[in-house]
Amino acid sequence: MKDGEPLKKHRLFYILIVVIGVLAILNIRLFWIQVAASRNWTEHGIDLVENSVIQREKGIVLDSGRGDFYDRNGRSITGLETQVLTVFPIRNEKLEEGKENNAKIARILQVSESVWTQFVESLKTPQVWAIDGKNITLSEQQSAQITALRLPQLMVTSLKQRYNNEQTASHVIGFVGQDPERITRQYTNQFHQGELQLTSQIGGAGLERSFEPWLQGIGATSVSLFTDAAKRPLPGLDARIVRPHNDYYPVKVMTTLDAAIQQKIEQAMAKLQIKEGAVVVLDAANADVIAMASRPEFNPQHIDLQNGTWANHALKAAAPGSIFKTVTAAAALEENVARADETFECNGALGKYGLTCWNKEGHGRISFREGYAKSCNIVFAKIADRLKGAAIEDYANKLGLNVSVGWQGNFMQDSNFREFDAEEKGQIFAESTPMEDGGVKAQSAIGQRDVMVTPLQAANMVVTLLQQGKVLSPRVVKEVRFQNGRLMEAFDQKSVEGLSKGISSGTAKRLLSWMNDVVDHGTGSTLRSAKWSVAGKSGTAQVADKEGIARVNQWFIGYGPVEQPKYAVAVMVQNMPETAANKSLPLFKEVMDILATVQ
């Protein structure tokens, strides 16, 4: 045995003694903590031997933590906060006391005692007080009265509801829902890191989808109640709200929309019973979207993916009819194939291609300029005969048609980010269509055949004329800000990229004056009664519905006030019966009157 071995053994023995002593002290301390807790809980009627399990009631999510949308004035579009009553299904040992409390609560909530009792007895998990599945908002007085009762099974909480029952700009905002396949495909890293589950709610359409990666937030706010195994609340624990603490999230998406204008336009569409169609209002100075409304109506709280009501018709291409004559007129003026004062003979039919004028008796001798004001098909068919089909398509592009015009560019490492989800670019000629064929050109020149335009493009075409030929790129979101107000990302105003040189300022000004003729003495003369002076162009397109029944799309595009234009507007009433009264003109007037009133 070596000389140092006995000394080492003694040291190890002493260390072992010390460790055992420390463990003994800890065990004694734990015992006294348990005894103290047992005495404390026993005083409150809790037997730790019989009820050794402490559990937390399944919580209620009060706020998903998802970022919200705001209008141009800072008004919240999503995320309405209301005071609600959260009810926990706990056991009440004192029957008489429970009956008395139920009577008090029912009086406060202004319902019968049986309605309240039935709600409470049906609970298996915590729920927000609701009638017929609709959460009930508490008044300040009700909130104070319920809080004063100091009942552990009740808690007044602030609930953040993503969408209102009548959600403003619902088609623009879109919806959230479960999409496991897309989560695993598009958000693979977040899924593997546990930030998203297969059951997570993500943006399914609209801005909810476009801005999904930045709307997700960092966690939900929830409320839970701690009980024993017998569903009795534990003193000192009670109901607790758990929320993430962060100065930066959730983010605020600042849109260009004016919520007040948007709501009034939606109300006007309802008053006129517009079942299918769209309205787009753009700022004449920069093409910002002030309002964008779509029909059929869509409730993001009750989504039916099959019926398609969630689709934004403002971004869907449709046959434009005579509003497309603006393109044909621009091409003719720029290419010098017709003078403004040149006259044409309209007898109601062209005599070839089977093309007729809407005025069956004909307009007689009529000038090019008057042909635009009175929307003469024959004039524009004859002018189309002088143009190349390629020229018609080229000038459509110069005016921002046949291309996606919505804001797109770099955003948070996405070089192809688009603000507008599912925006269609429309078309002028189908791929297989012989664009130089005379009949094709005649039909296309008046906005029929293959021509398809979105209401967003149509409104932006008016902005292009007001900007003397410059094609701006409409945006509906201008900034994303952190919760503390600090700027995260800005979407600067920009022009549509990749287009050839636009039309001349002279042609743009001339077409704007022709639009004034339309209202002064043409097809839009009923608009002379609007609250301010307006100008524009009408259009009626022949279409067929899914069953092959003949229908029409009714359009009117224009601007106002004429003296100092502030807004460009496009309205489309879609798939109307051929014999139905024109609703596009009264809808355009309603929109312009709304805009005139808010000034």
Check pLDDT > 80 for residue 37. Answer: no
Q: What angle do CA 446, 448, 454 make, to 5 degrees?
A: 100
Lowest mean pLDDT among 414-418, 455-459, 473-477, 503-507: 414-418
For the cut 50, the answer to whether the pLDDT of residue 42 exceeds it is no
**459 against 598, higher pLDDT:** 459
pLDDT band at residue 187 using 50, 70 and 90 as cut-offs: confident
395 CB burial (10 A radius; 0-12, 13-18, 19+): buried
Q: What average pLDDT does range 149-178 have in this prediction?
A: 92
| Lowest model confidence (mean pLDDT) among 105-109, 121-125, 237-241, 540-544 | 237-241
Q: What is the pLDDT of residue 26?
A: 47
Q: How confident is the model at residue 61 (pLDDT cuts 50, 70, 90)?
A: confident
State the pLDDT at residue 229.
64
Give the mean model confidence (pLDDT) for residues 171-193.
Answer: 89
pLDDT band at 94 (very low <50, low <70, confident <90, very high): low
- pLDDT higher than 60, residue 309: yes
Average pLDDT over residues 545-567: 94
Maximum Cα interatomic distance, the chain, rounded to a whole number of Å: 130
Distance (Å, whole) CA 128 – CA 427? 50
Residue 73: CB atoms within 10 Å: 10
Q: Residue 27: pLDDT above 70?
A: no
Rounded Cα distance, 147 and 163, in Å: 27
Q: Over 50: is that where the pLDDT of 105 sits?
A: yes
For 468-479, the pLDDT digits (tens) are 999 999 999 999
Residue 57 near residue 223, CB atoms below 8 Å: no
Q: What is the pLDDT of residue 199?
A: 84
- Share above pLDDT 70 across residues of the chain, in percent, rounded to a whole number: 86
Please provide the average confidence, as pLDDT, over all residues in the chain: 88
For 237-276, the pLDDT digits (tens) are 567 788 888 889 999 999 999 999 999 999 999 999 999 9
Per DSSP, the three-state class of 59 is coil
- Confidence at residue 230, expressed as pLDDT on a 0 to 100 scale: 60
**Residue range 326-372, pLDDT digits in tens:** 999 999 999 999 999 999 999 999 877 889 999 999 999 999 999 99
pLDDT-derived band at 29, boundaries 50, 70, 90:
very low
Q: How confident is the model at residue 234 (pLDDT cuts 50, 70, 90)?
A: low
Cα–Cα distance between 29 and 26 in angstroms, integer? 5
Compute the average pLDDT of residues 551-566: 97
DSSP letters, 100-141, are HHHHHHHHHHTS-HHHHHHHHHT-SS-EE-EETTEEPPPPHH
Residue 79 has pLDDT above 70, yes or no: yes
Taking residue 4's Cβ as centre, other Cβ atoms within 10 Å add up to 8
Q: What is the pLDDT of residue 125?
A: 83
If phi over 0 gives left and psi between -120 and 50 gives alpha, with beta otherwise, what is residue 400?
A: left
pLDDT digit string (tens) for 385-414?
Answer: 999 999 999 999 999 999 999 999 987 667
* Predicted confidence band of residue 58 (pLDDT cuts 50, 70, 90): low
CB 347, CB 365: distance < 8 Å: no
Rounded CA gap, 525 and 529, in Å? 9
CATH code, residues 259-304+318-597? 3.40.710.10
Q: How confident is the model at residue 73 (pLDDT cuts 50, 70, 90)?
A: very high
pLDDT at 30 exceeding the cut of 60: no
For residue 420, give every residue at least 6 positions away whose Cβ sits within 8 Å of its Cβ, in sequence order, or none.
210, 315, 404, 406, 407, 456, 476
Structural domain 65-230+242-250, CATH architecture: Alpha-Beta Complex (3.90)
pLDDT tier for residue 204 given thresholds of 50, 70 and 90: very high
Domain boundaries, the chain: 65-230+242-250, 259-304+318-597
Query: What pLDDT band is residue 1 in, cutting at 50, 70 and 90?
Result: very low
